Amino acid sequence: MTKPGKNGIIKRIALWTVPIYAVLFSLRLVFSSIDYARVDGGDEPLFAIQTWATLDGGTGGFSGLGYEIIQQTRIHFDDKGNEGYMYGPILTSRWNFLFFPFAEKQNLRFVTTEQLLSGNLPRN
């Protein structure tokens, strides 16, 4: 019985590593897209867990497989001086050493205090 050479070992490692990496990369793209859409619609993400929250009115972070979604709720005044909030999700990439980073995606919009408290948020 002969031992495999270095080329045989490298081929075996590549045969396992490349498909696993491709599956993880694909899952990250699918999961981050679904979670971003859910948070943008006002729902909790399915594939990410809440990792932090602040006491500023609802800002919090959710971490998933290679990405983080920040649900931003920040006090803001519009051009007319109306008080309200900048509200919406921000999607950022994590684990850049393992996955290719993607561009940050955000959909922040101004909502009044009454809209936020009543849950009647504008949908984009």
Asked if residue 90 is part of any domain, the answer here is: yes
Q: How many domains are contained in the chain?
A: 1
- pTM given for the model: 0.78
Q: What is the pLDDT of residue 31?
A: 95
Per-residue pLDDT tens, the chain, 124 aa: give them: 556 567 788 888 889 988 998 898 889 989 999 999 999 988 999 999 999 988 766 789 999 988 999 999 888 898 998 899 898 999 998 876 566 777 789 999 998 888 878 877 776 5
Domain extent at residue 70:
6-118
Asked if residue 123 is part of any domain, the answer here is: no
Whether residue 90 contacts residue 72, with contact meaning beta carbons closer than 8 Å, is answered with: yes
Asked if residue 11 is part of any domain, the answer here is: yes
Asked if residue 1 is part of any domain, the answer here is: no
